[in-house]
């Protein structure tokens, strides 16, 4: 390999490494910027013990980090990022315990999830042994609703865990978290009706009825993945 070719390869390798470093710093800056905006939206900087000066310091450090990154001054960018993170964490722990309880960790929603799960499971076992004549409707219909609610609750738990872990949970999303199990139950009921109506063809038993566990599985998945359920319903609508 000629010296010129070797230098060219070294230059390309260095540029590639710089691109990776720049991308990593951009992701860190974007993540902290999002956390800063969410905390501000949740009222962090309106707390009595949290000074607005800290918000200004965080914003200035983030802007400085972006400018230094544009100039490929990685050490200065790292310094400003660390300063911004230090100010942000100080603001979080200067806030009241109640603010962290509701806006940082969303404990009130975890309590709601536990209570809802206990209620759903209790009701499920309550109706399990009851005959359809006493219920007034098919047991499978109620099971589809229940599993749809469980799917919606699982969606709640999964997304809340991710947002709390990334510290980008917004308290304006509470209505979605509270309503998800009920929307899941509605979707589970619609899945049951479409299957019984023969609009969705599934594996059946010897009597030609859809298998219970298949209906419950689809109801749970519809409760968890609303987009999937809506697409299936739209495809059924297009047939008409």
Query: Does residue 62 sit in helix, strand or coil?
Result: helix
More confident residue, 49 or 206: 49
More confident residue, 146 or 124: 146
- Which pLDDT belongs to residue 194? 85
CA distances to 30, 32, 74, 86, 132 from 68, rounded to whole Å, are 15, 16, 7, 18, 70
Decide: 58 and 36 in contact? Cβ < 8 Å: yes
Distance separating alpha carbons of residues 13 and 18, to the nearest angstrom = 9
Positive or negative, the CA dihedral 129, 132, 134, 137 is positive
Q: Which residues contact 152 (CB under 8 A, 6 or more apart)?
A: 180, 181, 182, 183, 184, 185, 187, 223, 224
8 band by pLDDT with thresholds 50, 70 and 90: low
Q: Which residue has the tokens 């209505």?
A: 175
More confident residue, 80 or 210: 80
Return the beta strands (E) in the chain as ranges.
none
- Burial classification of residue 170, based on how many CB atoms lie within 10 Å of its CB (0-12 exposed, 13-18 middle, 19 or more buried): middle
The DSSP letter of residue 211 is P
As a whole number, the mean pLDDT across the chain is 85
Kind and range of the H or E run holding 209? none
Average pLDDT over residues 222-237: 85
Residue 235 above 50 pLDDT? yes
3-state helix, strand, coil in the chain (%, to 5): 80, 0, 15
Q: Mean pLDDT lowest for which of 51-60, 139-148, 190-199, 202-211? A: 202-211
Domain locations along the chain: 3-101, 106-239
Residue 206 above 50 pLDDT? no
CA distances to 19, 27, 44, 144 from 183, rounded to whole Å, are 44, 34, 31, 13
- 92-131 residue pLDDT tens: 988 999 999 999 999 999 999 999 999 998 888 877 666 5
21 band by pLDDT with thresholds 50, 70 and 90: confident
- Burial classification of residue 162, based on how many CB atoms lie within 10 Å of its CB (0-12 exposed, 13-18 middle, 19 or more buried): exposed
Distance separating alpha carbons of residues 185 and 190, to the nearest angstrom = 9
Closest CA to 156 of 216, 98, 101, 115: 115
Distance separating alpha carbons of residues 89 and 96, to the nearest angstrom = 13
């Amino acid at each position: 390999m000629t010296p010129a070719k070797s230098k060219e390869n070294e230059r390309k390798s260095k540029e590639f490494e710089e691109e990776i470093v720049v991308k990593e710093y951009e992701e860190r800056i974007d993540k902290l910027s999002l956390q800063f905006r969410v905390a501000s939206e949740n009222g962090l900087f309106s707390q009595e013990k949290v000074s607005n000066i800290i918000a200004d310091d965080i914003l200035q450090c983030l802007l400085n980090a972006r400018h230094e990154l544009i100039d490929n001054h990685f050490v200065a960018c790292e310094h400003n990022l660390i300063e911004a993170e230090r100010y942000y964490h100080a603001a979080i722990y200067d806030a009241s315990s109640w603010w962290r309880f509701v806006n940082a960790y969303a404990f009130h929603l975890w309590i709601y999830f536990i209570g809802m799960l206990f209620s759903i499971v209790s009701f499920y076992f309550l109706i399990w042994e009851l005959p359809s004549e006493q219920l007034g409707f098919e047991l499978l219909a109620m099971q589809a609703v229940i599993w749809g609610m469980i799917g919606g609750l699982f969606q709640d738990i999964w997304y809340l865990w991710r947002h709390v872990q990334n510290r980008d949970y917004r308290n304006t999303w509470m209505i979605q978290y509270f309503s998800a199990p009920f929307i899941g139950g509605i979707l589970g009921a619609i899945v049951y009706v479409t299957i019984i109506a023969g609009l969705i063809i599934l594996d059946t038993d010897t009597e030609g009825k859809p298998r219970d566990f298949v209906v419950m599985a689809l109801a749970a998945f519809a409760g968890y993945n609303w987009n999937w359920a809506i697409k299936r319903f739209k495809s059924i609508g297009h047939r008409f």
